[in-house]
Amino acid sequence: VHTWYDQAGSNNAVQATAGSQPKIAENGELLADGIDFNGSDNFLTTSNNFVFSDTDDLSISSVLKSDTVSAVGTLLSQNGTGGKVLITLRTDSNINSYLGGGSGVTLVPYSVDKELLLTAIYDDSANTLDGFKNAVSENTNTSVTSTACTGTLNIGVSRSSNEYLNGTVKEFIIYKSDQTDNRFRIESNINNYY
């Protein structure tokens, strides 16, 4: 995958280096599980900065399948001063979400080769970060602090470039707003599509 097109039309994720491009097809056939990241050097970076203020809300939904629990891998991170790891798969077999300063929530335990619909919703006014797996609430952190950051987003690697994702991703939906009231519709739409 050289370019994963942003459906909003404003911030495509790209990888110009052929050897670092995740796969979407093999032997002339699309991969059934989505875009495949190899865990060692595959990642995509958005073409434009993602601006996140310290008062923004944030909602992220993704369809993911991990190939391993033996290494830390990052699904989504942000570059820049104050950059934040948004979703990381940890060696302790949990999926975590962080918003700057280490404030985060353990979203879910996960299993190898099991597709998951993940959602993380940050509400700045309440300082809460909620995590959902397959539309079921898993955990809430009620004392999250967020820091402002402007920088590109990475899909499949941490901002320090040493935690590569080993697995597949079918979808990313990112809103700079609290989508709690719309979560059921967003997740139902993703579920029905896949």
Are 166 and 38 in contact by the 8 Å Cβ rule? The answer is yes
pLDDT over threshold 80, residue 98 = no
Q: Out of 36-40, 51-55, 122-126, give the one with best mean pLDDT.
A: 36-40
User: Which residues have a Cβ under 8 Å from the Cβ of 189 and sit 6 or more positions away?
Assistant: none
Q: What is the pLDDT of residue 105?
A: 60
The band of 91, judged by pLDDT with boundaries at 50, 70 and 90, is very low
Write the CA distances from 56 to 22, 45, 123, 127, integer angstroms: 31, 21, 8, 11
The Cβ of residue 188 has, within 10 Å, a number of other Cβ atoms equal to: 11
Higher model confidence: residue 180 or residue 122?
180
- Please choose, from the candidates 101, 105, 98, 113, the residue with its C-alpha nearest in 3D space to the C-alpha of residue 166: 113
Q: What is the pLDDT of residue 22?
A: 96
User: Considering the entire predicted model, what is its pTM?
Assistant: 0.86
